[in-house]
Structure 1
Amino acid sequence: MIISQSKSRKVVIVGTGFVGSSYAYALLNQGIVNELVLVDVNLDKAKGEAADLNHGMPFASPMKIRAGGYEECNNADLVVITAGANQAPGESRLDLVSKNAKIFKTIVTNVMESGFKGIFVVATNPVDVLSHVTLEVSGLPKERVIGSGTILDTARFRYLLSEHFQVDSRNVHAYIIGEHGDSELPVWSHVQIGGVPLSRYAKINDVENDEDMKRIFENVRDAAYHIIERKGATYYGIGLGLVRLTKAILHNENSIVTVSTLLEGEYGINDVYLGVPAIVNEYGVREILELQINESEQQKLQKSASILNEMKEKAFS
């Protein structure tokens, strides 16, 4: 693999809460970046996280980690936004839209005033709507504003399918698309176990309506609610998902990941950020992979887009 020499591999994380610090820790463990800057409205928190991470440097790959301000975004390859209000028990991701949209308008304006010319990655919920807010406020091309989308939902889906069928999750190929939230959907028509379609592998005639498969999807869709009820927040899984996306960008991998990106006619949908499989490289989203989905999946995706479109209007009001 050729790593682009044009990249300094500098990442700025805005927000050092559970998700931001988990992402930073995973980056340190995997040695993907050269320089990591932590930005937070609470500077002492950012300094504390940086110190704690630096003390683990003898056990990891060499890199520079420090707390800083928005001026650090000037020469960053990536600005990853994890800041915002947390999802409370019983609260949907879309319930967060108004308060986090206001926070984002301030954050993105501050980043762009630094002279930032890199790629935004958005992880804060509702991620699809906030990715659209980031696009509008930043004025950057759509390929350079990416939401974490359904990257974690897809990972959950693959894991639960692998557990059910007792197959290594790396050999399960499956996608969750649409909103990162209640209206997301599984693309049953494209689930494969080691290249074998799920219907043939599992000998299921109607996969979508099979009770076991429906239960697996429900556990995927509702996973965040269950975790929040038990421990207050989700952060390890998304932290690792963000590292996977970071690696795809900084290493110019041209990898296919389910990220939130702006649809402009794909799947018959326009002007909405949705989680879909896309090819990602050092320039951001190179190409949206438009799957041939069945009629039922298309209807559910259109419904998901409609819900997000309404929330987008609320965010921009």
Structure 2
Amino acid sequence: MRKKITVVGAGQVGTTVAQLIAFRNLADVVLIDIVEGVPQGKALDLQQSGCLQVFDSLITGTNDYKDTADSDIVVITAGVPRKPGQDRADLLKTNANIVKNVTEEVMKHSKNPILIVVSNPLDAMVYLAKEVSGLPRERVMGMAGVLDSARFRTFVALELNCSMVDVDAMVLGGHGDSMVPMPRYTTVSGISITNLMDRDQIERLVERTRKGGAEIVGLLKNGSAFLAPGASVAKMVEAIVQDKKRILPCTAYLNGEYNWKGIFFGVPVELGFNGINKIIELDLTPEEKEALDTSAKDVKTTIEEVDAFLGKSV
């Protein structure tokens, strides 16, 4: 039986996610948004591309969460996008209300979906979705590591003038300025970039990766990245729907892994049919561990703000 995937938010990221899921024939798609006509129009436009892109997925546009009933996966992209110069944490209060309402509506109509959160600030919003949904930790995750790693992979390939396909990268930590790109675990055809670049080159690419989202926001002036984020979600969805057991960096709930508990954090995980099959703990140098702990402390601060928003004692 064909899977059913709901994408909440018919903006640029949500539309890209729906498009790529359909193009890959992964599932039927429900595109939902609060603006009347927008999800319906985009869904119809996408459906009409089916005979050209050769897919049979059914695309539904709606403003009613009843149409999302019995979804296998729900991708939450709803929220206010980041503005130039705006820190992700500034978005928390506004987007917390949106994500809370979305999650409540989703759970009214789907008993046990897998949630993939894209809304920013990512680490805080995926934590909020888990708290509101009551779902087990393996079924709630955030899209961040796949995107951040894709940016690092891109910058490495451009620097070395090599095929992007040959580059694998690993970025851990929170989805923000304190993220931790991992040069030792970033390779070109199995060769660590620490053997291919000097320290100054690597540091420059690491810093550009950390500022990758802000760089695009600054260039666009009005809006934020959507093509690479959409492709990142589609990669996660594909791994789950097809039970690929892909090892991908995702935002997962830590319960002692990396010596942290009670936070969502970017770590390598195995993704399959039931969501996160396992979290993989990497051997870290003292310097890498210090950077990861710094990022975790930043994430912990935003999660405490979510707890306060939910009325929980901190």
Which position in structure 1 is the counterpart of 2:131? 136
In structure 2, stretches of 5+ residues that fail to align are: 309-314
Asked whether the equivalents of residues 15 and 42 of structure 2 are also in contact (C-alpha less than 8 Å), the reply is: yes
Give CA deviations for 1:193-250 in whole Å, capped at 9, x if unaligned.
Answer: 2112323344x4xxxxx11111111111112112112222110000111110000000
Structure 1 residue 172, shift from structure 2 partner:
1.6
CA distance in 1, matches of 2:145, 2:90: 18
Using the size of structure 2 for normalisation, the TM-score is 0.93
Whether contact under 8 Å (1:189, 1:294) holds in the other structure is no
Query: Quick one: distance in 1 between partners of 2:209 and 2:26?
Result: 28
| Segment drifting more, 127-136 vs 165-174 | 165-174
Among 175, 181, 189, which residue is 1:186 paired with? 181
Q: For residue 212 of structure 1, what is the aligned residue in structure 2?
A: 201
Is 1:309–2:300 an aligned residue pair? yes
Gapped runs of 5+ residues in structure 1?
1-6, 205-209
> Which letter does structure 2 place at the counterpart of 1:303?
T
Range moving further from structure 2, 303-312 or 24-33: 24-33
2:291 corresponds in structure 1 to 300
- Structure 1 match to 2:254: 263
Give the CA deviation at 1:281. Answer: 0.3
Post-superposition CA distance 1:58-83 (Å, at most 9, x none): 11211100113212333111010000
> Which one scores higher on RCO, CA 8 angstroms, separation ≥ 6?
1
Q: Deviations over 1:36-90 (max 9, x none)?
A: 1111111311111111112212112111001132123331110100001110111
- Stretches of 4+ aligned residues off by more than 3 angstroms: none
2:13 counterpart residue number: 19
Aligned to 2:24: 30
2:89 counterpart SS class: helix
1:285 offset after TM fit, Å?
0.4
Question: Does 1:161 find its partner at 2:152?
Answer: no
> Are 1:199 and 2:219 an aligned pair?
no
Measured after TM superposition, the shift of residue 270 of structure 1 is: 1.1
**Root mean square deviation of aligned Cα:** 1.3
| Identity among equivalent pairs (%) | 29
Q: For residues 294 and 75 of structure 1, what CA distance do their matches in structure 2 show?
A: 45
Matched, 1:104 2:120: no
**1:112-141, CA deviations, whole angstroms, 9 ceiling, x for partnerless residues?**
111432201101111111110010000000
After TM superposition, list the pairs within 5 Å mapping 1:271-290 onto structure 2: 271-290=262-281
What is residue 207 of structure 1 aligned with on the other side? none
Q: Which amino acid is 1:227 matched to?
A: I
Give the conservation status (yes or no) of the 8 Å contact 1:187–1:293: no
Superposition TM-score, scaled by structure 1 size = 0.92
Letter in 1 for 2:255: E
